[in-house]
Amino acid sequence: MLLDIYQVDAFASRLFEGNPAAVCPLGAWLDDALLQAIAAENNLSETAFFVGDGDHYQLRWFTPEVEVDLCGHATLATAWVLFKELGVDAEVLYFATRSGELRVRRDGELLALDFPAKSPSPCVPPANLLPALGLEQAEVLLTDDYVVVVDDEARVAALQPDFSALRGLPARGVVVTARGSRFDFVSRWFGPDTGIFEDPVTGSAHTSLTPLWVERLGRNPLRAEQGGARKGQLHCELRGDRVIISGRAVLYLKGSIHLPD
């Protein structure tokens, strides 16, 4: 059995930037263990699988180790494949996911993701969180991730986390963020419990970062950059209880997965 596969650099305007995701269109759902095995073999931060359902699509995301509830960059990559490679003639795509219905629309040269907003709340961090990041003091908030706010974007760039010490935290991962100079804010995201030490660009983290920085900077929309050695750019806008996260994508490869009958 052959499956089509595409690898797309999401939140990137040229190759080898942003966050690579694999996208696999399916005629019907395969066994979960097989989906997980494909994602592990791809060894990217996310592999997206989708099945057409009328004018909607069922969409799931897998890291090399687990299925996740929400992934922004792989959703962007999936929309890019549907629009650019599969020729879907629509202005808006509708995805049924574990996080509810998600929408992606064309916005000029950008693709705009419509996700639920999540406002982070102050919390008492686990004792090992800041030491694992090499930080003595920082503000810590919580949504799906621990959101660590520092006072200088250079501190974000210089982070060298102890990933073994970040394992077992009672949250999906950790995002460290600061006000930016070229961009409104910058961030890096770490999630060893999901099988991803560092995710270059995490669209879902911006469902929390956008409300935070819109409130603190007093403007909307915002431009953001995420990543360490590899970076990507996002346009973020808070609209009521939704966050619109927009970006570009670039095709890296397309081919076939050869599965046993």
Q: Are residues 97 and 164 in the same domain?
A: no
Give the global pTM.
0.94
Do 252 and 145 lie in one domain? The reply is no
Burial 71-83 (b: 16+ CB within 10 A, else e): bbbbbbbbbbbbb
Report the domain count for the chain: 2
Task: Say whether both 210 and 107 belong to one domain.
Answer: no
How far is 106 from 83, CA to CA, in rounded Å?
A: 9
Q: 15 and 52 share a domain?
A: yes
For residues 105 and 172, membership in a common domain is answered with: no
User: CB under 8 Å to 70, separation ≥6 — which residues?
Assistant: 61, 97, 98, 99, 115, 144, 204, 207
Q: Do residue 69 and residue 97 come from a single domain?
A: yes
Say which of 17, 46, 198, 225 is annotated catalytic: 46
The domain spanning residue 32 has which CATH number? 3.10.310.10
Q: Tell me, yes or no, whether 138 and 96 share the same domain.
A: no
Together in a domain, 18 and 50: yes
Active site residue 198: no
Q: SS3 for 111?
A: strand
Q: Spell out the per-residue pLDDT of the chain, length 261, in tens.
A: 999 999 999 999 999 999 999 999 999 999 999 999 999 999 999 999 999 988 899 999 999 999 999 999 999 999 999 999 999 999 999 999 999 999 999 999 999 999 999 999 999 999 999 999 999 999 999 999 999 999 999 999 999 999 999 999 999 999 999 999 999 999 999 999 999 999 999 999 999 999 999 999 999 999 999 999 999 999 999 999 999 999 999 999 999 999 988
Same domain, 153 and 254: no
Whether residues 210 and 137 fall in one domain = yes
Which structural domain, as residue segments, surrounds residue 151?
A: 121-239
